[in-house]
Amino acid sequence: MDFNVKKLASDAGVFFTRAVQFTEEKLGQAEKTELDPHLDNLISRGDSTKNWTEKILRQTEVLLQPNPSARIEEFIYDKLDKKLPSRTTNAELLGQHMLEAAADFGPETPYGSTLITVGEYQKRLGSAEREFLQTSAANFLCPLRNFLEGDWRTISKERRILENRRLDLDICKARLKKAKQAEAKAALLSEEVDKAEHELRVAQTEFDRQAEVTRLLLEGISSTHLNHLRCLQDFAEAQATYYAQCHHYMQDLQRELSRSANAVGAPHSSSAAAVGPPAATAAAAPGQKPGTLSMEQVQLPVTGARKAKVLYDYDAHDGSELSLLADELITVYTVPGLDPDWLVGERGNDKGKVPVTYLELLS
């Protein structure tokens, strides 16, 4: 292998000279060229952006993937430029275990059928979680990483060059100062001073050019903030969608479990008596299950009637429930024996049970 000895020696000499200049500046033994205030502010703002982006990125990764070994695996696959295999979420795995247990215990048994119901909803929750993780990684984490590994690396490289240009400029200033002092003592010829002045002009030009390049790159931080703002909005929207899906699934699961419990307990309990008097039960329509009277048949005292605003659309699952439209106003009240998660709602001549979580109660 061929080595350019002269270039190697020259580079080593430049490095040593810059190190001496840097050390003398830190010790207060040499003058230091100060940067333009605007450029100095841009550098501070850039450093702050880099530091906070790193912290937000790391904590978001912890939020989305608490398992450290999984994060390391993702990092390795990313560095190898390979696609990470699709990973089953914990909720999906739990749901699968429940379904397998139900098959073992017997899907026709009360416990087995309930395992199937809960397991299916766990798999839905896991699927929603996986979609949320993928969306957040693509729309939020990737842009933050791209900034740190792309734009910021370029900015850091140009800043290092700028710092070297500044050190070279201050070295030339010191040489010119010494040359003029020596000339005054007739120790040097005037051409030495001319050479020092020429080197200073060249160093000043290179420094000014590099300062302009660095300034332009740092001013691009404003565009980075706007891009990260849009990414943050996408992340919040994905998060809201995910939690809304989870809430919806859990509401449906609670209803399914309530129906299952009523179906199991009806032949062995007097639950029908808790809904209405015996006379009302006897008057139920043919084919209607005990304990599932329509709201028109329930004749119980009203407690605490008040207005409520509907927050979300809701489709009734059977004749005892009332469908809702977002933003409409209805009258709601409780009746003895009704599940605390439900109220009785009225809209004109229509009446039925409505879920409390879909309402904003008004004073």
3-state secondary structure 170-213: HHHHHHHHHHHHHHHCCCCCHHHHHHHHHHHHHHHHHHHHHHHH
Asked if 18 contacts 171 with a C-beta cutoff of 8 angstroms, the reply is yes
Measured N-to-C along each axis, helices 110-136 and 37-64 cross at an angle, to the nearest 10 degrees, of: 160
Percentage with pLDDT > 70 across the chain = 78
From the CB of residue 41, how many other CB atoms can be counted at a distance below 10 Å?
Answer: 12
pLDDT at 195: 87
Tell me the pLDDT tens digit for each residue of 74-103: 555 555 555 555 678 889 999 999 999 999
Q: What is the mean pLDDT of the chain?
A: 82
Tell me the pLDDT tens digit for each residue of 171-229: 999 888 888 887 666 655 677 888 888 999 999 999 999 999 999 999 999 999 999 99
Domain-wise residue ranges, the chain = 31-245, 299-363
Name the band, by pLDDT with cuts 50, 70 and 90, for residue 339.
confident
Percentage with pLDDT > 90 across the chain = 51
More confident call, 52 vs 271? 52
More confident call, 293 vs 47? 47
Topology (CATH) of 31-245 = Substrate Binding Domain Of Dnak; Chain:A; Domain 2 (1.20.1270)
293: CB partners within 8 A, 6+ apart: 275, 276, 280, 281, 284, 320
| pTM for the full predicted model | 0.64
Name the band, by pLDDT with cuts 50, 70 and 90, for residue 286.
very low
Homologous superfamily assigned to 299-363: SH3 Domains (2.30.30.40)
Distance separating the N- and C-terminal Cα atoms of the chain: 87
Longest dimension (CA), the chain: 126
Name the band, by pLDDT with cuts 50, 70 and 90, for residue 317.
confident
- CA 294/CA 330 separation, integer angstroms: 19
Is pLDDT at 252 greater than 80 in this prediction?
A: yes
Q: Mean pLDDT, to the nearest integer, of 283-295?
A: 41
pLDDT at 305: 83
Name the band, by pLDDT with cuts 50, 70 and 90, for residue 324.
very high
